[in-house]
Amino acid sequence: MATATKARAKGKSERIEARATAHEAAVIARAAELSNSTVSSFVVGAAVAKAETVVARAGHTLMPAEQFNAMIAALDDATPIDEIVALAKRPRRITRR
């Protein structure tokens, strides 16, 4: 109860459950111990790191074949788009650093 209250106080309101073999659980417990972490925060930390990589790499887009073929037929198209030219000609409020 005390732990649950403490966890919620840190904004950790969600609960995730997972099943593991005895061996997997032992390896995780050992690794958590080695990194001075609880099993719970070790598992969540590792999963979040992995999840962020996956999300960032959700990294690819699928384009319908017909649209894709039309797109690559003129991949070097250098026709300026008027709206972008106009945008780039506007007085600038932003400086790149």
Partner 1 sequence: MSAREPEFLTELLGPTHELDAFDSGEAETDEWLRGHALRTQQQGSARTRILRSPDSQRILGFYAVAPHDTHREDLPGSAAGGLTTVPGYLLAQLAVDRSLQGQGVGAELLLDAMETIVIAAEAAGGRLMVVDALRGEVLAFYERFGFIRIGTTLRLYMKISRIRAALEAAGR
User: Which of these segments, 2-10, 16-24, 31-39, 68-76, binds partner 1 (CB under 8 A)?
Assistant: 68-76
Distance CA 75, CA 53 (A): 29
Q: Which is nearer to partner 1, 23 or 97 (CB)?
A: 97
85 is a site residue for partner 1 (CB under 8 A): yes
Size of the site for partner 1 (CB under 8 A): 39
Distance CA 36, CA 42 (A): 9
Reduce the DSSP state of residue 76 to 3 states and report it: coil
Distance CA 85, CA 14 (A): 48
The binding site for partner 1 (CB under 8 A) comprises 49, 52-53, 56-57, 59-65, 67-69, 71-72, 74-81, 83-90, 92-97
